[in-house]
Amino acid sequence: MKYMMFVCTDTEPETELAAPDIDTWVAENDANGRRALGSQLASPSAATTVRVRGGELLLTDGPFAETKEVIVGFDILECADLDEAIEVARAHPMSWAGRVELRPFHDE
């Protein structure tokens, strides 16, 4: 089962406890096959939003939604079920310093 893990910032991060290490997380989940692909993303200010309306190309400078929380990275997880994906996500430093969203791929 594939899950898209959106890695986002959050206005109320965990500050009391030390978050896990990202390099360890990547190394572990690459090794056990639960991370198929992933990357950090450039800042939303580098985004370009594309629409076609009435056949005409419309480009907007910036992300499609202006929000306080922004997507800063993604990982594609390959897990047996949601519980396993949650275990992977909770060990990612950004679930401490931000928030992550687990979205299952549409029925394969």
Partner 1 sequence: MSEPIFREAYGRIVATLIRLTGDWTLAEDCAMDAVEAALQRWPRDGEPANPGGWLMTVARNRAVDQLRRAAVAERRLRELAPLEQPRPEPEGDDRLRLIFTCCHPALAMESRVALTLRTVAGVPTAQIARLFLVGEPAMAKRLTRAKAKIAQARIPYRVPSGPALTERLPGVLAVLYLLFTNGYDSSPERADEAIWLVRLLAQLMPDEPEVTALLALCLLQHSRRAARRDEGGELVTLDAQDRSRWDHAGIAEAVGLLAGRPVTGPYAVQAHIAAGHAIATDFAATDWPTIAAWYDQLARIHPSPVVEVNRAVAHGYAHGPAAGLGLLATVREAVAGYAPALAAEADLTARAGDPAAAAGLFRRAAELAGSDAERRALRKRAAAAGQLALGDAE
Indicate the residue among 44 and 104 with the shorter CB distance to partner 1. Answer: 104
Q: Does 20 bind partner 1 (CB under 8 A)?
A: no
Q: In whole angstroms, how close is the CB of 10 to partner 1 at the nearest point?
A: 18
Indicate the residue among 53 and 106 with the shorter CB distance to partner 1. Answer: 106
C-alpha triplet 106, 84, 100: angle, nearest 5°:
70
Q: Binders of partner 1 among 31-90, rule CB under 8 A?
A: 80-83, 86
| Residue 75 contacts residue 7 (beta carbons within 8 Å) | yes
Bridge partners of 60, per DSSP, are 49
Number of residues assigned to the chain: 108
Q: In whole angstroms, how close is the CB of 59 to partner 1 at the nearest point?
A: 33
**φ, ψ of residue 24 in degrees (nearest 5):** -60, -45
Residues at the site binding partner 1, with contacts judged by CB under 8 A: 1, 80-83, 86, 102, 104, 106-107
